[in-house]
């Protein structure tokens, strides 16, 4: 988006020259702060992992009227304003991540791709080594070798939370259960600077209950990313009764700096998306129990009939059946509505160790 301008005749050049071809004076580099999106298109490129790795090309026009085409790793709509560089409010050096599961790794991938330094915290050296290898493998599908090497230099791993003292913001992404989250949040906060922001990626646990474990609840809020974190644009942001206005504003601004669209939701059970999604997943499991159709047919019918990108049973496998059941159980308990309670077949899958993609089998069987 940079262009070069002649300070004498004001002619603009899309490429760098030693001097203006008309005035023969040195050109001045112009770096716009923002631009209006005039048109956009999505491009999918087959990757080594046999996936479609999308990117977006946008035709934009800066405030000075100069047009350009930019490549983005996130979707953007016509009429939106594209901002270049990071905002001062979120010019962050280091982001900590608690957890090495699917979401923890996805957040690390997203943040590294955005140029952040990342401290990934886990419970064991072996788990961290495996998580690091997976993150770098994923980045290698969309980056060249030099970019991956630079990303690896920005990725630190740590057993425990002592390394979080260098972080500007820390995102918790451990198991979706109240007590483990409380323990992780409290231990992380003990090592963080007093001005650092602590956020939870909970799918809908009570933020005020989680905040009870903290000494600085004013610096705490919800950043609920969706899987896969590098592709899904939505981030549900929520605040508790003791969250400060500054922290509340930061949650939205930080999300935007990552190319996401923050949607502020009330701190109610499961927020907005999962409150609507969980009954759909549960009913799909009921249909499978009752023999309405097999898993493939149920998913195909819902996908085509509702224009969803994937069917509900495949989505449950992607999320993790244990995570789905935890969200449903929490919803049922907090709302007092048993219709949210996970179906018997879902519970049986979990008891058998069939947790979805991460275990190699759920409603479908996957190559590990």
- Contacts (Cβ under 8 Å, ≥6 apart) of 306: none
What's the burial of 93, exposed, middle or buried (CB within 10 Å: 0-12/13-18/19+)?
exposed
Low-confidence ranges of the chain (pLDDT < 50): 47-51, 86-90
Q: Which residues pair with 41 in a beta bridge?
A: 57
- Domain borders along the chain are 3-83, 88-264, 273-359
Per-residue pLDDT tens digits for 9-30 = 878 777 778 888 888 888 887 7
The radius of gyration of the chain from alpha carbons, rounded to an integer in Å, stands at: 23
CATH topology of domain 273-359: 1.10.1040
User: Could you report the per-residue pLDDT of 282-334, keeping only the tens digit for each?
Assistant: 999 999 999 999 999 999 999 999 999 899 999 999 999 999 999 999 999 99
In a 3-state reduction of DSSP, which class is residue 138? Answer: helix
The domain over range 88-264 is classified in CATH as 3.90.1150.10: no
Structure tokens at 20: 């203006």
> What residues act catalytically?
203, 224, 236, 274
Side-chain half-sphere of 241: how many Cα atoms within 13 Å?
7
Distances (CA, A) of 205 to 38, 156, 267, 335: 40, 29, 9, 12
Interval 111-139: pLDDT, tens = 999 889 999 999 999 999 999 999 999 99
Residue 45 backbone zone (phi > 0: left; psi -120 to 50: alpha; other: beta): beta
């Amino acid at each position: 988006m940079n262009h070069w301008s002649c300070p004498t005749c004001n002619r603009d050049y899309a490429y760098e020259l030693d001097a203006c071809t008309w005035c023969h004076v040195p050109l001045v580099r112009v770096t716009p702060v923002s631009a209006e999106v005039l048109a956009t298109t999505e491009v999918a490129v087959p990757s080594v992992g046999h996936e479609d790795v999308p990117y977006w090309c946008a035709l934009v026009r800066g405030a000075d009227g100069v047009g350009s085409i930019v490549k983005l790793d996130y979707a953007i709509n016509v009429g939106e304003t594209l901002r270049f560089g990071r905002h001062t409010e979120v010019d962050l050096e280091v982001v900590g991540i608690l957890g090495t599961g699917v979401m923890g790794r996805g957040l690390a991938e997203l943040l590294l791709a955005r140029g952040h330094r990342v401290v990934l915290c886990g419970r064991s050296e072996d788990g961290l080594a495996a998580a690091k290898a997976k993150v770098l493998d994923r980045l290698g599908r969309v980056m060249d070798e030099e970019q991956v090497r630079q990303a690896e230099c920005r990725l630190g791993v740590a057993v425990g939370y002592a390394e979080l003292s260098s972080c500007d913001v820390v995102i918790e992404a451990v198991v979706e259960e109240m007590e483990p989250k409380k323990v992780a949040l409290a231990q992380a906060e003990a090592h963080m600077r007093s001005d650092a922001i602590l956020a939870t990626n909970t799918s809908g646990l009570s933020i005020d209950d989680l905040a009870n474990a903290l000494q600085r609840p004013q610096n705490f809020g919800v950043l609920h990313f969706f899987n896969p974190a590098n592709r899904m644009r939505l981030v549900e942001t929520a605040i508790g009764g003791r969250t400060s206005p500054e922290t509340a504003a930061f949650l939205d601004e930080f999300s935007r700096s990552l190319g996401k669209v923050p949607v502020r939701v009330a701190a109610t059970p499961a927020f907005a998306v999962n409150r609507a999604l969980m009954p759909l997943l549960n009913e799909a499991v009921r249909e499978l129990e009752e023999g309405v159709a097999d898993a493939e047919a149920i998913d195909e019918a819902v996908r085509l009939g509702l224009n969803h990108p994937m069917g509900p049973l495949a989505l449950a496998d992607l999320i993790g059946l244990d995570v789905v059941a935890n969200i449903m159980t929490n919803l049922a308990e907090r709302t007092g509505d048993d219709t949210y309670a996970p179906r018997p077949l879902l519970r049986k899958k979990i008891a058998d160790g069939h947790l979805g993609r991460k275990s190699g089998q759920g409603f479908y069987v996957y190559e590990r």
